[in-house]
Amino acid sequence: MNEFLQQLINGLSLGAVYALIALGYTMVYGVLRFINFAHGDVFMVGAFSGMYFGRWLKPFAAAWPEWLFASVVLLGSMLFCAVLGIVIERLAYKPLRERPRLTVLITAIGVSLLLEYAGQLVFGAAPRGFPSLITSTSISGLGGLQASNIQLIVLVVTSLLLLGLHLIVMRSRLGLAMRALSLNPTAARLMGVNTNVVISFTFGLGSALAAAGAVFYASLYQAIDPFMGVLPGMKAFVAAVLGGVGSLPGAMVGGLILGVVETLVVGYSKLLGIPPGYRDAVAFVILILILLFKPSGLFGKTQREKV
Amino acid sequence: MGPRFLLLLSIAAVSLVSFLFTGHPQASWPLGQMDDYLLNILILAGINVILAVSLNIVNGHTGQFSLGHAGFMAVGAYGSATLTQINSKACLASLAFLGNAAPLGLFVLSLLAGGVLAALAGLAVGLPSLRLKGDYLAIVTLGFGEIIRVMIQNTEALGGARGLAGIPSQTSLGWTWGVSLLSIYCVGSLVNSTYGRGFLAVRDDEIAAEAMGVNTTRYKVTAFVVGAFFAGLAGALYAHFIGYITPEGFSFLKSVDVVVMVILGGMGSTAGVTVAAIALTFLNEALREAEQYRMVAFALLLIILMITRPQGLLGGLGRWLPGKGGKS
Amino acid sequence: MSELLRLEKVTVRFGGLVAVSEVDFHVAEGELVGLIGPNGAGKTTLFNLVTGVYTPTTGRICLGGREVDGLNSSEITGMGVARTFQNIRLFNSLSVLDNVIAAFNLHLESGFFGALWRGAAFRAQEAQIQEEAMALLEIFGLREAAHTPCRSLPYGDQRRLEIVRALATRPKLLLLDEPAAGMNPTEKIELMRLIRFTQERFKLAVLLVEHDMKVVMGICERIAVLEYGRKIAEGTPTEIQKDKRVIAAYLGEEVADA
């Protein structure tokens, strides 16, 4: 039982990262109806921007309390990626608004490759160490349960970010416009919603969340490289599909479920008879199962093609 | 010039070339040695042509978007190497009746085995993926490709993550281009027939295709199986060319490579895709010095191409085989 | 005359919306039946039900006495039902001729391996299909345009091509969804003459959805009227013209306008 709870904590902190990335997929899908393949690579840029910004800031922040330093790095990286997301949308996707979805998908693959290989040029191909923003300590809980403070901080800050997102989407004017656009683009436009602004805002918001996920991920696992976004990106996409693409609560729940399931499969690999090396296949098996049995996901709505 | 004539001509050409360049890597040109470097690039180009033409029947002609081609290639590569490397002694022994030709016989058998295994994998991927379209299908095929890779990585008998070395180098220029021409002929012939109009109908409008009696399910699965079969052959040829295969070599990025060839060549144009596969192979070699910049340039090219010329650089180059009107 | 198509208490719901409700209806061999009703009455939905695009929530649909529940569209087409689409769905990247050839799919004797081997039987079949397709195009005045891309055809010709394509599947029952939409009166008269002609020549039953009352009244032997997914009347053109419910629901406005 203890071991199970232990795995659950590990799974939830990983799941929180997936959830943060998955939200970006889902929001973009909501307003533009396409899968932003490059989202995982924005996540990667988030990790590197966090690393560089953290290193640059360190000498100035010697006297700061640790939490302030970590927060500033987190926000800086989020801001950088928000801008990056908006720029990507403006340059690569905006010219393709009325084109077939496949064209946009291929473009997104292009953007993804561009970020990865440009990343390789700029950052180098070898994995880099991520500076520790918060001194890692181990916290013992009831019954010998162990968790690192970073895991707990990740869970708490993720909850705060999700709360913030909820407020933005449900209470702000832009959030309202975003929801209108995803319900009915034509009607939203006729009602005076400025589509371009809303789409930019959506990309900015999604990319910022991915960057937060990246800083958490890098703090948890410490090594970062230009291709680090590929797998978490794909897994977060699976999380979005699991929750129902287009549904914000779906993306959160999907991310957490995926993180937990993946961790449990590895943790209990002997018991399940699945070698731990299959860790990366778990998400895809889940994806195929959902798409076969409940393509609309846990919280999604089914859509019918008009004939 | 009928397509059957074209096939005969291809076979003749290939036999001639195979005769001129016997064996690998010491290919002998009647007028001296052919440049090894050029020979290697030509073989790689042939393998890429097979990959691109076979992906084209799925992505181009049938309008499905698969991102898992490298997975089928891996099945072919490992499937064939199982015969010629892992179990080579037993296999050669059972082919002893062929005498000196036993290694060649085993090579041919292993190619076929690679193709058939990959075709079965194609069936396994095609069937459950049918309900999906566009970007969803892309992700699921990508997922399947990754699952195949992870499975190989975790199978000790196949060398696991270390890979498999010591695969006999039997792939020659003749074999490669023979299979290339065969793939071009097969895909071209299939598409250029009343039967093959079904693939194009599925691509253009699935609902209308069904209403006209085209069984869209069967066509999609057929496209996947044919595509995977040739990808498997390509994988087998590649394994016996390079001699050393790792699961990493068949990652998602390899699939993207092939997708780029198909897109540059123009989806649905066999001729365009063939030219693009050859051109990109040579370009890759030419840019080997500037390896780091190469992929950045490709990525940019892909984006700019989609924005300015989505039908591909070579799209509308014309049809490969003579026949009835229409784009193939 | 034996019965081709029968609908028994067919209902289909999309979420909360009842698109077609408890419709009983039939078409016999060789009949030309009209299906009318205001926009959104469920006419196209009825077509989609018959052709297997949608499955009825309750009720039965039978073709030639056999229930079609659970069959694919292509299997239903194989049972002799062909259709056109209200919002034209041609195979846009294909030529006019290839659009028709694609619809011969059901009647291929040499398929996958034939196309690979390209033997004598295959070539004979291809030649015959091409000839048949050309003959069909000829009837509808599209022969000259056979090798042009179908996208470049004028709107009216695209509608005609849809009919040709449907005929290529060799149907017993042809469902036409507003085939004359967007045509001028002369073109409409010409099209109706053609529909009559093909109906007799290929011994077809035709189910016709059309907005233009004059057209429907002039050509159909029997007319069914849908409103809000329900069948509110059925009978000969004269009966329909006199039917109070129909006049109230639908013709009323038209008669008043005329």
Closest residue in B to A103 (Cα–Cα)? B306
pLDDT at B323: 35
Least confident range of A20-24, B45-49, B287-291, C221-225: B287-291
Of C94, C110, C111, the CB nearest to B200: C94
Of B190, B324, B327, the CB nearest to C97: B324
Cis peptide before C171 (omega within 30 of 0): no
Q: What is the pLDDT confidence band of residue C16, given thresholds at 50, 70 and 90?
A: confident
Cβ-defined contact of C105 to B198 (cutoff 8 Å)? yes
Number of B/C CB contacts below 8 angstroms equals 129
Of B136, B303, B310, the CB nearest to A114: B303
pLDDT greater than 80 at residue C186: yes
How many angstroms separate the CA atoms of C164 and C169, rounded? 9
Q: What is the pLDDT confidence band of residue A12, given thresholds at 50, 70 and 90?
A: very high
Say which residues have a Cβ less than 8 Å from residue B303's Cβ, sequence separation at least 6. Answer: A92, A107, A110, A111, A114
Class of the CATH domain delimited by C86-170:
alpha beta
Chain B interface includes C38 (CB < 8 A)? no
Label residue B272 exposed, middle or buried (CB < 10 Å: 0-12, 13-18, 19+): buried
Residue B123 within any structural domain of the chain: yes
Q: How far is CA A237 from the centre of its chain?
A: 9
What total of structural domains would you count in chain B?
1
Chain A interface includes B27 (CB < 8 A)? no
Query: CB count, 10 Å around CB of A194?
Result: 14
Domain residue extents for chain C: 1-80+172-180+204-258, 86-170
Strands of the sheet containing C58-63, edge to edge, are C17-28, C3-14, C58-63, C66-67
Sequence-ordered strand ranges (E) for C65-204: 66-67, 81-83, 173-177
- Across the range C228-253, mean pLDDT stands at 83
The CATH number of whichever domain residue B203 belongs to comes to: 1.10.3470
pLDDT at A139: 82
pLDDT at A162: 94
Closest residue in C to B197 (Cα–Cα)? C102
Residues of C in contact with B324 (CB under 8 A): 97-98, 101, 126, 130
Rounded to the nearest angstrom, the minimum Cα separation between A186 and chain C is 20
Element at C138 (helix H, strand E): helix C120-139
Residue B319 within any structural domain of the chain: no
- Stretches in chain B below the pLDDT threshold 70: 1-34, 315-328
Which single residue is written with the structure tokens 């429907």?
C216
pLDDT greater than 80 at residue A307: no
CA atoms within 13 A on the CB side of B149: 25
Cβ-defined contact of B215 to C94 (cutoff 8 Å)? no
ipTM for the predicted complex comes to 0.91
Identify the CA nearest to A132 among candidates A72, A51, A77.
A51
Which single residue is written with the structure tokens 């996901």?
A297
Range of the domain at B276: 3-308
The listed range with the strongest mean pLDDT (A134-148, B201-215, C32-46) is B201-215
pLDDT at C143: 96
Least confident range of A270-284, B106-120, C159-173: A270-284
pLDDT at A69: 94
Residues of C in contact with A307 (CB under 8 A): 44, 48, 53, 85
CA max distance for chain C: 65
Ramachandran class of B58: left when φ > 0, alpha when ψ lies in -120 to 50, beta otherwise: alpha
How many angstroms separate the CA atoms of A39 and C159, rounded? 43
pLDDT greater than 70 at residue C136: yes
Domains present along chain A, CATH in parentheses: 7-128+143-293 (1.10.3470)
DSSP A137: -
Chain C interface includes A307 (CB < 8 A)? yes
pLDDT at A145: 76
- For every residue of A182-235, DSSP letters joined together read HH-HHHHHHTT--HHHHHHHHHHHHHHHHHHHHHHHHHHH-EE-TTTTHHHHHH
Structure tokens at B267: 């989806």
Residue B210 within any structural domain of the chain: yes
Cβ-defined contact of B302 to A110 (cutoff 8 Å)? yes
Closest residue in C to B192 (Cα–Cα)? C115
Of B132, B154, B295, the CB nearest to A275: B154
Ramachandran class of B55: left when φ > 0, alpha when ψ lies in -120 to 50, beta otherwise: alpha
Rounded to the nearest angstrom, the minimum Cα separation between A306 and chain C is 10
How many angstroms separate the CA atoms of A227 and A269, rounded? 26
pLDDT at B16: 64
Element at C219 (helix H, strand E): helix C213-219
Question: Which residues lie across from C35 on neighbouring strands?
Answer: C209, C224
pLDDT at A292: 79
Identify the CA nearest to C174 among candidates C163, C183, C185.
C163
User: Buried (b) or exposed (e) across A264-286, using 16+ Cβ within 10 A?
Assistant: bbbbeeeeeebbebbbbbbbbbb
On whether the CB atoms of residues A22 and A240 are closer than 8 A, the answer is: yes
Q: What is the pLDDT confidence band of residue A68, given thresholds at 50, 70 and 90?
A: very high
Question: Which residues lie across from C206 on neighbouring strands?
Answer: C32, C174
Residues of B in contact with A292 (CB under 8 A): 128, 131
- Across the range A243-259, mean pLDDT stands at 92
Helices marked H in B21-133: 36-56, 69-81, 88-94, 102-129
Q: State how beta strands C173-177 and C205-209 pair.
A: parallel
Closest residue in C to A301 (Cα–Cα)? C15
How many angstroms separate the CA atoms of C209 and C196, rounded? 15
Rounded to the nearest angstrom, the minimum Cα separation between C55 and chain A is 13
pLDDT at A257: 96
How many angstroms separate the CA atoms of C217 and C219, rounded? 6
Rounded to the nearest angstrom, the minimum Cα separation between C217 and chain A is 27
- Across the range C213-226, mean pLDDT stands at 88
Averaged pLDDT score across all residues of chain A: 90
Residue B325 within any structural domain of the chain: no
Chain B interface includes C105 (CB < 8 A)? yes
How many angstroms separate the CA atoms of B63 and B209, rounded? 13
DSSP-derived 3-state class of residue B251: coil
Cβ-defined contact of C126 to B268 (cutoff 8 Å)? no
Identify the CA nearest to A245 among candidates A202, A173, A190, A182.
A182
Tell me: the pLDDT tens digits for A232-242? 999 999 999 99
Cβ-defined contact of C102 to B195 (cutoff 8 Å)? no
- Across the range A42-65, mean pLDDT stands at 94
Q: Which residues of A touch B (CB under 8 A)?
A: 34-35, 92, 95-96, 99-107, 109-114, 116-118, 120-121, 230, 234, 237-238, 241, 275, 277-278, 280-281, 283-285, 287-288, 291-292, 295, 305, 307
Tell me: the pLDDT tens digits for A159-179? 999 999 999 999 999 999 999
pLDDT at A245: 85
Cβ-defined contact of A307 to C14 (cutoff 8 Å)? no
Averaged pLDDT score across all residues of chain B: 86
pLDDT at A304: 58
Say which residues have a Cβ less than 8 Å from residue A137's Cβ, sequence separation at least 6. Answer: A148, A149
Rounded to the nearest angstrom, the minimum Cα separation between B146 and chain A is 7
pLDDT at B8: 65
How many angstroms separate the CA atoms of A5 and C176, rounded? 64
On whether the CB atoms of residues C7 and C26 are closer than 8 A, the answer is: yes
On whether the CB atoms of residues B150 and B248 are closer than 8 A, the answer is: no
How many angstroms separate the CA atoms of A168 and A176, rounded? 9
pLDDT greater than 60 at residue C254: no
pLDDT at B328: 36
Of C72, C115, C168, the CB nearest to B193: C115
pLDDT at A4: 86
Cβ-defined contact of A234 to B142 (cutoff 8 Å)? yes
Chain C interface includes A102 (CB < 8 A)? no
Element at C206 (helix H, strand E): strand C205-209
- For every residue of A87-133, DSSP letters joined together read HHIIIIIGGGTTS-HHHHHHHHHHHHHHHHHHHHHHH-SS-EEPPPS
pLDDT at B20: 56
- Across the range A251-278, mean pLDDT stands at 90
Residue B322 within any structural domain of the chain: no
Chain C interface includes A171 (CB < 8 A)? no
Q: Which fold has domain C1-80+172-180+204-258?
A: Rossmann fold (3.40.50)
Identify the CA nearest to A85 among candidates A128, A28, A138.
A28
How many angstroms separate the CA atoms of A126 and A133, rounded? 21
- Across the range A282-291, mean pLDDT stands at 87
Say which residues have a Cβ less than 8 Å from residue B37's Cβ, sequence separation at least 6. Answer: none
Cβ-defined contact of B65 to A291 (cutoff 8 Å)? no
Rounded to the nearest angstrom, the minimum Cα separation between A184 and chain C is 18
Cβ-defined contact of C105 to B203 (cutoff 8 Å)? no
Q: How far apart are the first and last CA of chain A?
A: 53
Closest residue in B to A88 (Cα–Cα)? B303
Label residue A75 exposed, middle or buried (CB < 10 Å: 0-12, 13-18, 19+): middle
Structure tokens at A62: 């010697």
Length of chain B, in residues: 328
pLDDT greater than 90 at residue C210: no
Chain A interface includes B307 (CB < 8 A)? yes
pLDDT at C258: 42
pLDDT greater than 60 at residue C168: yes
Torsion of CA A264, A268, A269, A272, to 10 degrees: -100
Cβ-defined contact of C53 to A307 (cutoff 8 Å)? yes
Cβ-defined contact of C112 to B190 (cutoff 8 Å)? yes
Chain B interface includes C101 (CB < 8 A)? yes
Identify the CA nearest to A35 among candidates B68, B138, B304, B254.
B138
CA B33 to each of CA A25, B25, B29, B40, B168: distance values in angstroms, whole numbers, following the listed order: 55, 11, 5, 13, 22
On whether the CB atoms of residues B216 and B62 are closer than 8 A, the answer is: no
Cβ-defined contact of B146 to A281 (cutoff 8 Å)? yes
Structure tokens at A34: 């396409």
